[in-house]
Structure 1
Amino acid sequence: MLLIRGTLLHRWFQDRLLDEAEVLKVTFGENRMGAILSERSFALAPLDRCASPRDKVEALSFAAAMRQTRARYRDGSLERALYVEKLSRILPTHAEDALAGDALVLGSWLTGGLRVSVDPMSNVQNLLSWMSVDQLADVIRAAGLEPTGAMLIPRAEAEAAEFARTAAAKASDGRLRLPGRTALEDFFNDHVVDIVQNRSHYTALGIGNPGAIVLEGPPGCGKTVAVERLIAHLGWPHFAVDASSVASPYIHETSRKVGQLFEAAIAAAPSLVVIDEMDALLSERDAGGGQHRVEEIAEFLRAIPEAIKAGVLIVGMTNRVDMIDPAILRRGRFDHVVKVDHADQTEMLDLLRALLDGVPLADGVILETYAMRLAGRPLSDTAFVVREAARLAARARMSTIDDASFSKAVDALPQSGAPKPRVGFV
């Protein structure tokens, strides 16, 4: 419980930081005070006594509270403030010595009390090893700040980001390019990109925000890569939901985290929420799991339409769409279930050409032949073949990738359905 004396309470009312309905009136003798009650699972404490966040969802909740507070209270520092997670508010105590800006307040809270600013964000990257660079940038944006400074992106992330930037630069007509995924490319451009880029035309005909989408298909078919390309093309803040980020052994905790994440996404809208492994989070309620499973799915059912209306694009991914609760897949929640299968020969040829764009090829390399051999395999196998062929050619000190290098790279792939090598004692 937080007890507030009359003068400070009046000031919070005056600054529109609190509504009278959010405060319980308490009388103790001649003293009249206000009280804010909070459940055990919600943070309610001075910032310097709050526990540091355990995951990205808790960090986003705090960032959303900072943003909502600044929408009402623009002047003064939040350094000596009280965090009321239940109200998604940070209440300043108006201490004379509070001079820290929001970037320092956020950095101190994220690091458990160290006086370090998130501007530039490289200051805190090494201190927050549990959070990726993209996640940290999302938290900073959710707080109403802009990520700045050099970002030490891991090599794999840097390569993916560079590929996305190159693809976006080549799409002079504003279309999203998904090499190797022609049908999905057309779907995203028709149902998402065109609506976003020509919103006034769609609004005039009663079409609001893009509907939620489920991508369903086997592992390795390119669902995750396609969503990453869409995120890069739109340039929106994105929030990931999976079992590892929101699941909790404590009753009500999972549904609370889900609600907080969607609140943060709505605060940062237009934004994108990606639900990975939907079958693990949103399996059919009749399959068992107890009352808390019903509560978790009910939270999704409540949050999804609200988020779509606020401008949040929701994309789910699954290998087993048949295991998802039917209520989740109804129109108005997820409007589209898109089947994504392994690439055929034509799509594989498109992917090979995209991956080899700007790479010198020797005469006699017939990409159609390798597209036929790679058809039906995971897209990651195609990327491996291109890298391995380039490595073999470079090792032989050639200036181009020749047909022999390509052939050896394809031969290095395990045969489809072949048993995996066993490691052990004979």
Structure 2
Amino acid sequence: MVLDPWLPLGFALPDGLNLRASLAEGQDWQLYETAPAGRVLVAREELARSWVERGLLEPVALSSIRFGEDSFMALTSETRHLLAPVDASPRLRDASEALAFAVALRETRRRDATSNLQGAVYVERFSRLLPVLSAGIGMPDDLVLGMWLSGGVRVSAQSLRRLSSLTRGLGMDELKAIVEAAGLSVSNTEPADSGSSKSRRFELPGREKLEAFFSEHVIDIIENASRYKALGIDFPAAIALHGPPGCGKTFAVSKLIDHLGWPSFSIDSSSIGSPYIHETGRKIARVFDEALRSSPAVIVIDEMDAFLSDRQLSGSQGLHHVEEVAEFLRRIPEAIANNILVIGMTNRIETIDPALLRRGRFDHVIAVDMPTAQEVRGLLIKLLSPLPCEKDMDMTPLVEALTGRPLSDAAFVVREGARLTARAGRQIVDRASLITALNSLPPREGAGKESRRIGFGR
């Protein structure tokens, strides 16, 4: 649903089609249905130019359109070719559709090895995934493929047995061929599908305390279920993470989900929120029901203050809000009892309804602050350790510049520095490449323009 369409319905496109309905949107793009048939992706010029510069599209694939003082680029598609956001994947009709998406993922990576493909737009006509998000850690390609194949469930495509249970009509051999067609490897052991990660140590680079908490209060309970059950502990309790935007809550939860290898389900304002009374409550119930069918699984409640704010606050009055909170109060204990790990995230823990923070719902309320210099240095060392790097690299300027920024920025600097090294034909990642990558980051909110660049001298 597009809340504020850029173009009016009935607007005539250069190829003679007319806009019939608005379907989806992102920060710099919108998707429309066209008449008599088909779809059109409308993007702001800067985003569209980035697709051409990365070699993902030829300039002739896009047409220029103007509406008033605004100008956009448009990419049209016939009905027989899919044009849809990856996050809104349709139910697959057959293996050929799955294979087509896998090939598109592989062909995209051949031309663009680093872009974040989370939320990308799939253009079957050109066998491409068009990235729409800014730089960041993003979602691994195996999860992008897994979400598309499963119809939106966060599950790794490399976990064939788990994926097979979510993709009706696709056998193990077909799934293996699809994953390999995407350029991904298939594990023979598939430890994640067994429901246990005992052979692998959970790691959360740059977050030692949070790593220790997840290891003790989640992973150890899951791995040693019989031992804990004998003492009355059946499953990990729900967890609420709170901290400022960019502190790394989403990154930490993503790493935990990847380690468990379980399908995950998201509850957030963009996918659940509705202007219609009772509809939000029904959508919440639907997510819990889907998770129960896929148990063991993870439910992530993002921006939980949007749904779970204190019912006594003046801005939270209304029967529909009371119903939504009550739905969570009822479903969270049920989910825990059925091996569903519930994790909530918020920037405003003080606004959450006290009933949710009592024992039996969110037993653990964990503060996540912005990364310290020590945590940033630890993450950089971890990310650089498998790469060929110059000896005795002084990382102090990098650490100082990245302290207080999201950990995803540190991951981007390492990845971009490695890309610049390869592009220049060098084999050793040096500090100059990392500084260049660092200077390509946007300035921190509230920071002056002069703080954006860091000089490099011998």
Q: Which residue of 2 aligns with 1:326?
A: 354
Q: Which one has a bigger Cα radius of gyration?
A: 1
RMSD of Structure 2 on Structure 1 (CA): 3.9
Residue equivalent to 1:117: 94
Structure 1: 5+ residue runs without aligned partners? 1-53, 56-109, 422-426
* Structure 2 residue aligned with 1:264: 290
- C-alpha displacement of 1:257: 1.5
**Counterparts of residues 68-147 of structure 1 (less than 5 Å):** 116-117=93-94, 121-122=98-99, 133-135=145-147, 136-137=149-150, 141=165
CA distance in 2, matches of 1:111, 1:411: 39
1 CA distance for matches of 2:171 and 2:309?
Answer: 36
> Structure 2 CA distance, aligned partners of 1:281 and 1:212?
16
1:346 aligns with 2:374: yes
Alignment check: 8 A CA contact 1:356 1:386 kept: yes
Aligned AA (1:276): D
Contact 1:209 1:309 in 2 (8 A): yes
Q: Please say if residues 252 and 292 of structure 1, whose CA atoms lie closer than 8 Å, have aligned partners that are also in contact.
A: yes
- Take 2:96 and 2:232, find their aligned partners in 1: how far apart are those partners? 42
| Counterpart residue number, 2:278 | 252
Q: Which amino acid letter does the alignment assign opposite residue 343 of structure 1?
A: P
Structure-1 residue corresponding to 2:390: 362
- Residues 393/235 of structure 1: CA separation in 2 closer, same or farther (3 Å cut): closer
CA contact (8 A) 1:364 1:403 kept: no
SS of the residue 1:285 aligns to: coil
- Would the aligned equivalents of 1:223 and 1:317 in 2 still touch at CA under 8 Å? yes
| TM-score normalised per structure 1 | 0.62
Larger RCO (CA within 8 A; separation ≥ 6): 1
Counterpart position of 1:300: 328
Provide the residue aligned with 1:76 in structure 2.
none
Pick from 193, 197, 201: which aligns with 1:175?
Answer: 201
Do the aligned partners of 2:308 and 2:353 also contact (CA within 8 Å) in 1?
A: yes
Deviation at 1:312, TM superposition (A): 0.6
**Residue 123 to residue 380, structure 1, CA distance change in 2 (3 Å):** closer
**Aligned position for 1:281:** 307
Assess if the C-alpha contact under 8 Å between 1:276 and 1:316 holds in 2: yes
2:248 matches 1:219: no
**Of the candidates 190, 193, 202, which is equivalent to residue 216 of structure 2?**
190
Counting matched residue pairs gives 304
Query: Which of the numbers 200, 205, 229 marks the counterpart of 2:226?
Result: 200
- Equivalent residue in structure 2 for 1:388, among 408, 416, 425: 416
- Between the aligned partners of 2:397 and 2:448, the Cα distance in structure 1 is 26
TM-score normalised by the chain length of structure 2? 0.58
Q: CA deviation at 1:144?
A: 7.3
| Alpha-carbon shift at residue 152 of structure 1 (Å) | 9.4
Looking at structure 1, the residues matched to 361 and 290 of structure 2 have their Cα atoms a distance apart, in angstroms, of 19
Cα distance in 2 for residues equivalent to 1:361 and 1:200: 45
Q: CA deviation at 1:175?
A: 2.3
Mapped partners of 1:370, 1:258: distance in 2: 42
Q: Which residue of 2 aligns with 1:418?
A: 447
Kept in 1, the 8 Å contact 2:95–2:170? The answer is no
**Percentage of identical aligned residues:** 47
How far, CA to CA, are the matches of 1:306 and 1:258 in structure 2?
14
Residues 79-135 of structure 1 show CA distances to partners (whole Å, capped at 9, x for unaligned) of xxxxxxxxxxxxxxxxxxxxxxxxxxxxxxx969x9x33698447889x96996444
Give the deviation of 1:221 after TM superposition.
1.6
Q: How far apart, CA to CA, are the structure 1 residues paired with 2:338 and 2:449?
A: 48
Matching residue's letter, 1:409: A
SS of the residue corresponding to residue 213 of structure 1 reads: strand
d(CA) in 1 for partners of 2:429, 2:279: 54
CA gap of 1:385–1:249, structure 2 versus 1, over 3 A, is same
Distance apart, 1:373 and its partner CA? 3.8
Per the alignment, in what secondary structure is the counterpart of residue 214 of structure 1?
strand
Secondary structure, aligned partner of 2:275: coil
Q: How far did 1:413 drift?
A: 4.1
- Describe the SS at the equivalent of 2:429: coil
User: How far 1:414 moved relative to its partner?
Assistant: 4.7
Change (3 A) 1:132 1:385: closer
The question of whether the paired residues in 2 share the 8 Å contact of 1:342 and 1:377 is answered with: yes
Q: Which runs of 5+ in 2 are unaligned?
A: 1-22, 25-88, 105-120, 124-142, 154-163, 451-458
Choose the corresponding residue for 1:241, options 267, 273, 279.
267
Whether the aligned pair in 2 keeps the contact of 1:141 and 1:147 (CA below 8 Å) is: no
TM-superposition CA deviations, 1:341-382 (whole Å, max 9, x none): 122122212211222132111124123553344222211221
- Contact kept, 8 Å, 2:309 with 2:316, in 1: the verdict is no
The equivalent of 1:337 in structure 2 is 365
Q: What amino acid does structure 1 have at the position aligned with 2:370?
A: H
Rounded to whole Å, the distance in 1 between the matches of 2:371 and 2:255 is: 17
* 1:288 Cα deviation after fit: 2.8
Structure 1 SS opposite 2:298: strand
SS in 2 for 1:327: helix
Deviations 1:146-182 (A, max 9, x none): 7752159999xx89x99xx9x9xxx985321011111
Mapped to 2, the partners of 1:266 and 1:146 lie a distance apart of: 22
- Is structure 2 residue 206 aligned with structure 1 residue 229? no
Preserved CA contact (<8 Å) 1:236 1:271? yes
1:392 positional shift: 4.0
Q: Offset of 1:308 from its aligned partner?
A: 0.6
Matched residue type, 1:230: L
